[in-house]
Structure 1
Amino acid sequence: MKIRIIIASLGLFISATSFAQVKKWTLEECVNYALENNISIQQSLLDAQSAEYNKKGAVGNFLPSVNANASHSWNIGLNQDITTGILVNQTTQNTALGASVGVDIFRGLNNLNQLHKANLQILANQYQIDGMKDDISLMVANAFLQILFNKESLKVAQSQHQLNLSELERTSSLIENGQLPEGEIYDLEANAASLEQQIVVAQNNVRLSTISLAQLLLISDYDNFEIASDDYDIPASAILDTNPGEIYMKALQIRNEVKISETNVEIAEKDYDLSVGGAMPTLSAFYSFNTRASNRGIVTGSEIDPDNPTQVIGVVDNSDRDNVVAPNYNVITGSADPLYDQFKFNKGHSFGLQLNIPIFNGFSNHVNMQRNRINLEKAKLNLENTKIDLESNVYQAYNDATAAAKAYTAADKTQTARQQAYNYAEERYGVGVINTFEFTQTKQALEAAQSEVVRAKFDYIFKLKVLEFYFGIPITE
């Protein structure tokens, strides 16, 4: 028996220790963790890296291109001997080396426009990442506040249940003393059952909202995920005292969706400039160096062919005796020069300028310019639409926060009044002036008012945070 008690105590100690070690996540920790691990943000960061490499490519357009080449070939069979010009059945080897340099002098300012566009794309990617972070922060804050709302609702239901149990106990005592009829307890028992059902639903809502936030953070250990359940009061904020027009003007300066649209207009302008540059003449300079070597023999001299000392080089009056003859020489060849000497003496250089003037290319330049001009106009319209949407969202957020503030104030006043009505009804119920049904009705009205205060409170907190967000106040403050 003692051993079982010790084991049971040890199990309780381990469970209590494990529970104590569960991390309590604050709102700021949840937001930071989401920003660090969100897959969409990580993908956008890769896009930003790609944009950086695009910039390196644009910078490289200003630099000269330098290339080297080398070749070595074997020629086997009947080939022309470069020293004699005679076709000879032989095997030869040839080596060639070369290098070239090219540089753009003028390309219609395309290199400069490409660099500007690359810088703008880097900026646009950064704005996009910041915008995604803003959206994710709001999503996390909403999920976090939803858990707090569900926990507060659970506390209210549990408190109401405890109060109902006390009323049940007191009513049972009055029934036993003959002060109340037995039927007076039925409404309280039904209300108790209803509250137990509400507690189960509230517990399930807490669990589901906790899992939802964990999934948003990409945390799979749902059992050990818990947020810090500190009391969240209505934050002190003067944002509702600010004119919505001022909030909109501030949002125009800081909101990333506006910055992205403005940057897209600049990118579209650079695309149009690039298409204009494609129709301009281009001027480039080039320089090349080459040298070669071979294993073929070289001519070292000549001698008269002993077998055929002369050769006919002309005929006079179709007479053999009047033929014009000349000595017939055989070329004397020697072994090839050393490779280094051949490379030294066979080198050559070439350099110059190349001008290219586009005259007609099937309307491609014209079509490209018109297409980019249309894209520029679309980007400008998108910017205006973004500003209109932002203004609408700011005014909507302002109105929502104002309405939520009024709703919370009204709910709080209603709860105060319902509490006073309940206290008065409790006194009258205690002396038998009202029956259980009437008392239960008053109690249920108080419960509804308490639940509405919790709902209105967190609805106001979130809508206030959204409005502050447009004004540049971080969601975690």
Structure 2
Amino acid sequence: STGNDVWTLQRCLEHALEHNLQLQQAELGVVRGVLAETSAKGAFLPNLNASSSYGVNIGQRIDPFTNQFASDAVQSSNYGMSSGLTLFNGFQNHLNLRRARLGLELAQTNVEIAQNNVALSLASAYLNVLFQKEFLTIAQLNAEATGRQVDRIQKLVNAGAAAESDLYDVLAQQAADQSSVVSAENGVTIAKLALAQLLQLSGDEADNLDVAPPSDDLLEATQLPLSADAAVAFALNAFPDMKAAELQVTDAYLGLDLAKAQRMPRITGSYSVGSGYSQNRQTLVSDPITQDVTIETVEGILVTTPVVTQEGEFATMSFQDQFTNNLNQSIFFSLSLPIFNGFGIETNIDRAEVDVLSAQLAKEQTSQSLTQTVEQSWADARAAQRTFEANDRALAAATLAMTNAEARFEAGAISALEYADVRTRLDNARINALRTQYDFVFKTRILDFYLGRPLSL
């Protein structure tokens, strides 16, 4: 209809690469990989932390800033800043950074794998819509042809030149053809729905979805390689599945190096600076008043000595002065050497070695699976080609038979039942030729995909 929105295969692929949720999940893996790399780089830098505390102590205690007993409520506060740096930890930071960069590359490779999976699914769904539309066209043509035969037989029956049984036979064929049209229409609707769901279209967009017809040279542009060797070689060297498997092997070796690094000593350094304030910290604000007094010693000697007549005045030391006076700094270095930890390190090393073997086996399995998939794709395409060629010959023969049957039926040489039987064979030949044509095209496109060629129709 005029309201349909026609989609080419290329448009479908571009839309899916932008909106597919599976791809978006894979792209989030890349974001996580970038964050992991940033975190691994930050492990080389020192940390820096600030601290502050305030409290009120009630009851007898030693004031840490006056070193005297205090029984009154004492308000105090502490302020500090500290920094620490790992000087050596068996090169674990370097290994973690390499592993994070490897993880980022693996995440990017997983995006490529997801893109390939979506592309293959879309191509299959797209071709299925084309096939169902062609099947509908055949069903409609058959129904129209049967309708013409009904009109012709009706006229012959009315003229007394044909039996009513012939009309009933053709009417039965017409009903069967109309049922085939409905079934084909349902097939088109379901195929379009499957494609719309892959594209994640909304309701209105899905209702208006249609696909562009294939190019006129669809079969001419479909060439089957002589063997699967070239496709296998390309897939093993360039496909992201193999790259991901190789990266996982490298990651497993890095995990083993990290496990072994736990045997190494760990050296850290730290620096801290701090100060504090206490309400009980007093300072002299006015000197005591003294007066010289003469006294006589036991020996009868007169001695003049000062005597305090008025005590000096004290006040709480200001925050600024206390902060300056109480300032303290410290530098520490620590060494940690693992000697025994309940077999934890050795167990981690053994587990990492198992992970390496597992990754190597997974790589071999991926290589084997990819090789088998490509070889099977070539075999399927070869079988589809031979089946299509055979069905094409059968269609040509059925078409000739139908032409002859039409002439004989119009001449009254065969019955309507015999004519319908020839029509059925032609219908089956058309359907089989069409099905095997699209099957051959799809399977060769899959093989082209493994050869690194873009999907197209």
TM-score bin (small chain): 0.7 to 0.9
The answer on whether the counterparts of 2:48 and 2:82 sit within 8 Å (CA) in structure 1 is: yes
Residue aligned with 1:62, SS:
coil
- 1: distance between equivalents of 2:167 and 2:274? 110
The answer on whether the counterparts of 2:130 and 2:211 sit within 8 Å (CA) in structure 1 is: no
CA-to-aligned-CA distance 1:272-315 (integer Å, 9 cap, x gap):
111111111112222222223333214788999xxxxxxxxxxx
The answer on whether the counterparts of 1:68 and 1:99 sit within 8 Å (CA) in structure 2 is: yes
Give the aligned residue type for 2:437.
Answer: K
Q: Which residue of 1 aligns with 2:282?
A: 297
CA-to-aligned-CA distance 1:381-425 (integer Å, 9 cap, x gap):
011011101111000000111111222222222111211122122
How far has the Cα of 1:138 moved from its partner? 1.6
Q: Which residue of 2 aligns with 1:462?
A: 442
Q: Which residue of 1 aligns with 2:391?
A: 411
CA distance 1:89–1:182, shift in 2 (3 Å) = closer
Q: Which residue of 1 aligns with 2:300?
A: none
Give the aligned residue type for 1:354.
Answer: S
Does 2:88 match 1:106? yes
Residue aligned with 1:240, SS:
coil
Does 2:34 match 1:52? yes
CA distance 1:193–1:85, shift in 2 (3 Å) = closer
Q: Which residue of 2 aligns with 1:277?
A: 261
- 2: distance between equivalents of 1:112 and 1:185? 88
How far has the Cα of 1:374 moved from its partner? 0.3
Larger deviation, residues 132-141 vs 245-254:
132-141
How far has the Cα of 1:333 moved from its partner? 6.8
Larger deviation, residues 440-449 vs 335-344:
335-344
Give the aligned residue type for 2:359.
Answer: A
Does 2:15 match 1:30? no
How far has the Cα of 1:81 moved from its partner? 5.5
Q: Which residue of 2 aligns with 1:224?
A: 207
Number of equivalenced pairs: 436
The answer on whether the counterparts of 1:25 and 1:228 sit within 8 Å (CA) in structure 2 is: yes
- 1: distance between equivalents of 2:434 and 2:163? 36
CA distance 1:395–1:82, shift in 2 (3 Å) = closer
Q: Which residue of 2 aligns with 1:90?
A: 72
- 2: distance between equivalents of 1:430 and 1:109? 92
Residue aligned with 2:149, SS:
helix
- 2: distance between equivalents of 1:378 and 1:148? 43
The answer on whether the counterparts of 1:239 and 1:468 sit within 8 Å (CA) in structure 2 is: no
* Pairing partner for 1:444 from 424, 428, 439: 424
* Pairing partner for 1:429 from 372, 391, 409: 409
- 2: distance between equivalents of 1:394 and 1:190? 47
Unaligned stretches of 5+ residues in structure 1: 1-18, 305-328
CA-to-aligned-CA distance 1:362-390 (integer Å, 9 cap, x gap):
11001011011101110110110111011
- 1: distance between equivalents of 2:3 and 2:159? 51
- 2: distance between equivalents of 1:39 and 1:420? 51
Residue aligned with 1:143, SS:
helix
- 2: distance between equivalents of 1:82 and 1:418? 108
Unaligned stretches of 5+ residues in structure 2: 291-307
Q: Which residue of 2 aligns with 1:11?
A: none
Q: TM-score, with normalisation over the residues of structure 1?
A: 0.84
The 5 A counterparts of 1:311-350 are 334-350=314-330
Q: Which residue of 1 aligns with 2:174?
A: 192
CA distance 1:95–1:333, shift in 2 (3 Å) = farther
* Pairing partner for 1:246 from 209, 230, 236: 230
How far has the Cα of 1:244 moved from its partner? 0.7
How far has the Cα of 1:449 moved from its partner? 1.0
Larger deviation, residues 142-151 vs 86-95:
86-95
Q: Which residue of 2 aligns with 1:204?
A: 186
CA distance 1:272–1:430, shift in 2 (3 Å) = same
* Pairing partner for 1:255 from 239, 244, 261: 239
Give the aligned residue type for 1:217.
Answer: L
Larger deviation, residues 343-352 vs 459-468:
343-352
How far has the Cα of 1:85 moved from its partner? 5.5
**Coordinate RMSD, CA, aligned:** 2.7
CA distance 1:351–1:83, shift in 2 (3 Å) = closer
Does 2:356 match 1:385? no
CA distance 1:276–1:333, shift in 2 (3 Å) = farther
* Pairing partner for 2:49 from 37, 53, 67: 67
Q: Which residue of 2 aligns with 1:475?
A: 455
The answer on whether the counterparts of 2:271 and 2:331 sit within 8 Å (CA) in structure 1 is: yes
Q: Which residue of 2 aligns with 1:396?
A: 376
How far has the Cα of 1:331 moved from its partner? 9.6
Larger deviation, residues 61-70 vs 212-221:
212-221
Q: Which residue of 2 aligns with 1:165?
A: 147
Q: Which residue of 2 aligns with 1:288?
A: 272
CA distance 1:237–1:259, shift in 2 (3 Å) = farther
